[in-house]
Amino acid sequence: MNIARIPYILLTLSGFFILQEGFINRINFFIGGFSLYLVFVIAWTLQEEPSNAMLIGFFAGFIADFSPTLESPFGLWTLILTGFCYFLATTVRGNLDPQLSPLQMTLVTASSSAVLLLLFILIGAILGQELSSISILISEVIGNTLWSFVLAPIYIPLTIKFYQFSLTARER
């Protein structure tokens, strides 16, 4: 990754993290919640090379671990997002067309957000994190997937714009 991109990526991720923590977490979504931050990271990663995706996952996870409402150990999101973004960029991205259709992007992003949340719950439980009731966890995961699917027409073009803006002239 071009070093010049890193400050922009960090700034963008921090901006979305603030948006998520300050605004989106306050909205009552009726069913579960919606993590714009996660789907933004996933959608961005889908555009990147594996090494870049991995780094972006690491930065995104590190920033996500700052969330004051988290009760999980610091570094859990870093671990999960680093590994998952690498997996997305290599396995998922590699098995699909280079130019993802909007529907593919939507499906991959929505399902990935569900997998990420499940991984977070699972690994968190292994590390001794207290869990809510099963019904609440299920409603959170389903709600998040649903909203990720429904709101895809808004956040996917936005993510692509941010991604393209982060590229250097040579990379474009």
Partner 1 sequence: MTTKRTNRTRLLLVSLLVTSLFLITLDLRGLSVVSSLRTAAQSALTPFQSLSTAILSPISNFLDNLSGLRSAQNRVAELERENQELRNTNILNENVVGELKQLKGVLDLAGRAKYKTISARVIGKGGTATIGETIIIDKGSASGISTDMTVISENGLVGVVKSVSNSASIIMLMSDPNFRLGVRVAGSQLMGILSGEGGDNFSLQMLSASSDLSVGDVLLSRGSSGDKPFVPGVPVGRVSFVENSLGQLTKKAKVEPYVDFNSLGVVSVVLESIAGDPGDALVPKAPRPAPTITVFVTPTPNE
Residue choice 13, 36, 43, 54 for contact with partner 1 (CB under 8 A) = 54
Buried b (16+ CB within 10 A) or exposed e, 13-47: beebbeebbeebbeeeeeebbbbbbbbbbbbbbbb
Q: Could you tell me which stretch among 36-44, 76-84, 133-141, 154-162 binds partner 1 (CB under 8 A)?
A: 76-84
Binding mask 124-143 for partner 1 (x = CB under 8 A): ---xx---------------
In sequence order, what are the residues at sequence separation of 6 or more whose Cβ sits closer than 8 angstroms to the Cβ of residue 119?
A: 80, 84
Residue whose CB is less far from partner 1, 76 or 105? 76
Residue whose CB is less far from partner 1, 79 or 141? 79
Task: Determine, following the binding rule CB under 8 A, whether residue 61 of this chain makes contact with partner 1.
Answer: yes
Query: C-alpha distances in angstroms, 114 versus 34, 38, 61, 86, 148?
Result: 11, 10, 16, 17, 9
Query: C-alpha distances in angstroms, 68 versus 17, 54, 115, 124?
Result: 12, 24, 23, 16
Please report how close the Cβ of residue 153 comes to partner 1 at its closest, in angstroms: 21
- Positions touching partner 1 (CB under 8 A) are 18, 21-23, 26-28, 30, 50-51, 54-55, 58, 61-62, 65-68, 70, 73-76, 78-79, 82-83, 86, 127-128
